[in-house]
Amino acid sequence: MTLPHPTADQISLPNVLAVLGDPTRLAIVRYLASKEGVPLNCSRFLDLCSKTNLSYHLAKLREAGVTRTEAVGTSRLITLRRDDLDRRFPGLLDSVIAAAGDDASLPAVGGHEIEISA
Amino acid sequence: MTLPHPTADQISLPNVLAVLGDPTRLAIVRYLASKEGVPLNCSRFLDLCSKTNLSYHLAKLREAGVTRTEAVGTSRLITLRRDDLDRRFPGLLDSVIAAAGDDASLPAVGGHEIEISA
DNA sequence: TCCTTAGTTCAAAGGTTATTGAACAATTGG
DNA sequence: CCAATTGTTCAATAACCTTTGAACTAAGGA
């Protein structure tokens, strides 16, 4: 069961920029990029805002084509749509992520993830 | 006489993205990039929206640190703050401009500029 | 000086966005 | 089946954004 996503060529540049122009969503994208390849579920982002609000922001990211959301059980697995974004807007995601990487004013994600100890 | 601009390190990434996430403003930036080096005055953009509204959008771009506005006589000369943006967010402006260059859904600027005939 | 040109400011209207809490749905473990 | 876990939907609110027209300022030319 998959939620509605735009196709790659339905992704609009102004819309992507507008959606990334929110500190909470930019923090989500930065974190997704830092764990790229690993699908994360929503709860990972609960220190950014309330559950309700998170649902709203993740829907915005999905509807803009920035993320892909897959429903698995009661979870939603979130991934960056890097391939589609790189094809549509070469270099954009990388430069945004690089710039966001240095940005101490963005809210931080993490601090209570379940890490595997060695 | 210069209008208030943020310093380079006051430029905020989310703010820049949000400001570029408006089709009118993105069209302005795309056009500025296509005429880079040439300071343009506001009237250049009058086919995008009303004079009042243009004043608002250009103020947004200036306040976000995307453009520099210099008052000369009754004119305002607008330039892209490429150096500052490139220093703060390497590659971002280029990828945005490249992506916008292909975007037929953005409003077009120009059509009545005074071109020098050969 | 008077008029025109270039652009700003203001207040108002209308739209969209972000955030909240309460209620809901769906899956999973006991 | 029951309860807990995960996340969504809804309605409400407050804040912000965009757009407008009318009124304004400031510089330049006749």
pTM for the structure as a whole: 0.91
pLDDT, residue A37, reads 87
pLDDT, residue A111, reads 56
Q: Which residues of B touch A91 (CB under 8 A)?
A: 91, 94-95, 98
Helix/strand/coil for A42: helix
The model's pLDDT over A12-24, given as tens digits with 9 standing for 90+, comes to 999 999 999 999 9
B68 Cβ neighbours under 8 A, 6+ residues apart: B5, B62, B78, B79, B80, B81
Q: Which nucleotides of C are covered by protein (CB under 7 A)?
A: 5-10, 17-23, 25-28
Q: How many CB pairs under 8 A join A and B?
A: 82
Burial (CB count <10 Å: 0-12, 13-18, 19+), residue B111: exposed
Residue B33's H or E segment, with its range, is helix B23-34
In whole angstroms, how far apart are CA B118 and each of A34, B36, B115? Answer: 54, 22, 9
The model's pLDDT over B101-114, given as tens digits with 9 standing for 90+, comes to 989 999 999 754 54
Nearest Cα of chain B lies from the Cα of A85 at a distance, in angstroms, of 11
The model's pLDDT over A54-109, given as tens digits with 9 standing for 90+, comes to 999 999 999 999 999 999 999 999 999 999 999 999 999 999 999 999 899 999 99
- Find out whether B66 and B32 touch, Cβ atoms under 8 Å: no
pLDDT, residue B96, reads 98
pLDDT, residue A116, reads 39
